[in-house]
Structure 1
Amino acid sequence: MARTVELPDGEDLHILTGVDLHVRRGDHVGIVGRSGTGKSTLLNLLGLLDRPTGGTLEWAGRNVTDISNRQAARIRGRDVGFVFQQFNLLPGRTALENVMAPLLYASGREFWQRRRRAAEMLDRVGLGDRLDAMPQFLSGGEQQRIAIARALVRTPSVVLADEPTGALDVETGAMVMQLLDQATYDSGAALITITHDPNVAALARRRFRLAEGRLHPLTEAAMA
C-alpha cells in the first residue's frame, strides 16, 4: 500500500512507498515513528478516511481500495473505533452522552439500548459513577477513559489509537494503555497504536517502526 500526494509545484511527495500489514482480531500492533514519517497518513488509510494511491487495502477479505465515501463511512461507523491524543470529546455533553454519540447512528436494538450500553461501557473503564460528569471537570486520564469507552461502545473490529498518551503524564499514560489493551483484547478487537513514544509501542504484541515510507519489524531489544 502506498500514498503519494502532488505538491503545489507539481512534484510528487511519496509519503508511504510500500506498507505491508496484516492485522487480525485480537491483535495489538504498535507503530512508532518520528514526526513527518507518515504516521497520520497511515492512520487515515487504515481508518478509511483516505485512499491509497498504490497497492490495495482490504477489509475482512474485501478490497476496499476504491469504495465510495458512503461505503467507507458505513464500515468506519460500524467497525472502527478511534482514540485520539486530545480526546476529542463533545463539549457541553456528559460522559454518558459522549459515549452514546456513536450509537445515535446505529439501528434497531443497538439504537434503543444506547443509554444502557454506554453506561455499561463506562463502568468497564472504571467510570460507572461519573455518568453525568462533564468532561472538562475530569482529569486527563478520566477523559481518555471516556474516549476509550466511546471507541468501544459499538464493539468495533479495529481500534485505531493516535498518540493516545500524548496529553497524559507518564504514570497516567501507562495506566490508560493497559486499560486500552485489556479492553480491546476482551472485546476481540484489533488495536493499532500509532505513536512517537517507543515505550507505548513496546506494550504491543507486534511492533514496527515507520521509516522511509515502510514498516520495519522491531524486536524487544530494538525497542530498548
Structure 2
Amino acid sequence: MTIIRLEDVTRTVALPDGRPLTILSGIDLEVFEGDRVSIVGRSGSGKSTLLNLLGLIDSPTSGEVWFEGAPARSFSAAGRDRLRGRRIGFVFQQFNLLARRTALENVMTPLLYDGGRDFWRRRQIATRMLENVGLGHRLDLPPDRLSGGEQQRVAIARALVRRPRLILADEPTGALDLETGSTVMELLERVADETDAALVTITHDPNIAGRSTRHYRLDAGVLSIRDEARR
C-alpha cells in the first residue's frame, strides 16, 4: 500500500526582490507501507522543504501530493493537522522536548489531542512506549537529567506513541556520537517494524543512509535514486 506519493512536485518561494527561487524541482517519490527510504543531501539542497511536504506542513507550488490515496490539496487546514497528528510521526535532530515536563509527560503530549479512548489511557500508553524504548526506569525525569541518547529515545517514543503510518526522521543521529546514533537507529527501525510503518530518514551520514533499502540523493532541489536493495 502506498502511504505518500509526490508527483512532479515543485516548490518555489519569492525572494525579497520579487524574483522566484526554486527550492525543489520535479520531485517524484513514492513511499510504501513498511518502506525504508533514506534521502541524502548537502545543506541548502532542499531537504527541510522536502520533509515539510512529506509531513503535509507545506503545499507544493505545482505537482501533486497524495496521502493514502487522497490528494493532500483536498484536505482542509484542520484536516491536515488532524491527519499529521494521527498518521505522521516526526523525529528531529534537536529533540524538541518540553524542558519542564518529565519524560512521561513529554510522551503523553500527543495523546492530549486525542478525543477517543487513548486520551483516558494516555499515561498507560506513554508508559508502555517508554518501556519499549528502554526508559521505563526514567519516566519521572526531565530532559536535563537525561543523556543525549536518552533524550532522543524520549523523542522517538513521543513520535511513535500514536502508531503513525509514516515516520519522518530529520538527521535523527546528528547530535549523537557514533555508537549512540547506531543504537538509536536500531531502536527506531525496530519500533517501526512492529507497526509496519514507513520510515523516511533525511541525513548527511552515508552510514545511516546505508541502513535503508532505497537510497536517494537530493542535489540543488533535484531528487535522484542512488540505489535500491532487494527486499
**What range is the shorter-chain TM-score in?**
over 0.9
- What is the rounded CA distance, in whole Å, between the counterparts of 1:11 and 1:77 in structure 2? 35
1:217 equivalent to 2:219? Answer no
When the two structures are superposed, what TM-score results if normalisation uses the length of structure 2? 0.93
- What is the rounded CA distance, in whole Å, between the counterparts of 1:73 and 1:219 in structure 2? 33
- Picking from 184, 190, 200, the partner of 2:198 is 190
When the two structures are superposed, what TM-score results if normalisation uses the length of structure 1? 0.96
Which position in structure 2 is the counterpart of 1:105? 113
Question: What are the superposed Cα offsets for residues 38-68 of structure 1, whole Å, 9 maximum, x if unpaired?
Answer: 0000000111110000100000000013533
- What is the rounded CA distance, in whole Å, between the counterparts of 1:197 and 1:9 in structure 2? 35
Which position in structure 2 is the counterpart of 1:167? 175
- What is the rounded CA distance, in whole Å, between the counterparts of 1:96 and 1:84 in structure 2? 18
Which position in structure 1 is the counterpart of 2:59? 51
Which position in structure 1 is the counterpart of 2:5? none
Alpha-carbon spacing, 1:76–1:220, altered in 2? closer, same or farther (3 Å): closer
Question: What are the superposed Cα offsets for residues 103-126 of structure 1, whole Å, 9 maximum, x if unpaired?
Answer: 000022111110000000001101
Q: Measure how far apart 1:2 and its partner are.
A: 1.0
- What is the rounded CA distance, in whole Å, between the counterparts of 2:136 and 2:33 in structure 1? 27
Question: What are the superposed Cα offsets for residues 143-200 of structure 1, whole Å, 9 maximum, x if unpaired?
Answer: 0000000000001111111110111011111110111111111111111111111111
**Which shifted more, 32-41 or 128-137?**
128-137
Assess if the C-alpha contact under 8 Å between 2:24 and 2:220 holds in 1.
Answer: yes
- What is the rounded CA distance, in whole Å, between the counterparts of 1:199 and 1:69 in structure 2? 37
> Number of aligned pairs?
221
RMSD of the TM alignment (CA)?
1.3
Query: For 2:155, what is the secondary structure of its paired residue?
Result: helix
Give 5+ residue unaligned stretches, structure 2: 1-8
Percent sequence identity is: 61
Which position in structure 2 is the counterpart of 1:21? 29
- What is the rounded CA distance, in whole Å, between the counterparts of 2:173 and 2:149 in structure 1? 9
- What is the rounded CA distance, in whole Å, between the counterparts of 2:228 and 2:29 in structure 1? 19
Query: For 1:17, what is the secondary structure of its paired residue?
Result: strand
Give 5+ residue unaligned stretches, structure 1: none
Q: Which has the higher strand share?
A: 2
Assess if the C-alpha contact under 8 Å between 2:40 and 2:204 holds in 1.
Answer: yes
Q: Measure how far apart 1:220 and its partner are.
A: 7.7
Query: For 1:181, what is the secondary structure of its paired residue?
Result: helix
Deviant stretches of 4+, over 4 Å: none
